[in-house]
Structure 1
């Protein structure tokens, strides 16, 4: 049903010359992938990326009206602690609360792997390590960072910087 409504909205936007683009509007509760797309603007003819049971909608942008929907950080701030843990995991939530980018934490999960490092198995990601042509070492996942920091917040923040979650 939701897909039919989105398709009708998109057809109406294409037919209306006053509509220049649309903005993705995310309703909570939502998955982490939808949250990082919140507030992004797309061309009218661009397809609306979604998954089963996705509650996201689109809001038209015209020359006279530019909506200001919540972005990923705003949505994170509006979530309860339980919703944050459910959506981003314990370490992901802690990393964002310590200043990490929501999208960096979520996208790190795409390239997640386990490698032998420091004499034990460590969780790492290859996403966000730079050029595909140049082989760079993987970066630690937030879970691994907080495990290595062992309760030392300053050490965790240093590792978040070193691994590209903070700038």
Structure 2
């Protein structure tokens, strides 16, 4: 298999995983706003989950294994930053091992694909959702007013964010 073929296969496999993960997140109130980014407006905050192909910053894939990182973040009332700070739970090695999360699969055979999807959802339920609940409890009653630049950075369309800040 050529490098170009492996790159296309890896991209297709990751896109399939994002599509299937998106279906699970929809049941939890999230909307896919960008290729690998999901948001949920809840309790006056914006909950954010993102996926990242581990090793992608180094260029083309070198093997048939796709390792995925999942990150959570949140925007609180008054947040005017234009970038996404990954301040919440993320699938680092220690957390992944401790929770026995298997966040990888073979892009050629799709071996462990279902397990990876199941564990991405389980990571969301076990690690991200409790963290989001803590934030919701600390911001109840506050109004979420974020800039147009922040909405654009998160890919939030007017239909998802019908109200404007004061």
Task: Please tell me whether Structure 1 or Structure 2 has the larger radius of gyration of its CA atoms.
Answer: 1
TM-score by length of 2: 0.26
Q: Which has the higher contact order (CA 8 A, sep 6+)?
A: 2
TM-score by length of 1: 0.26
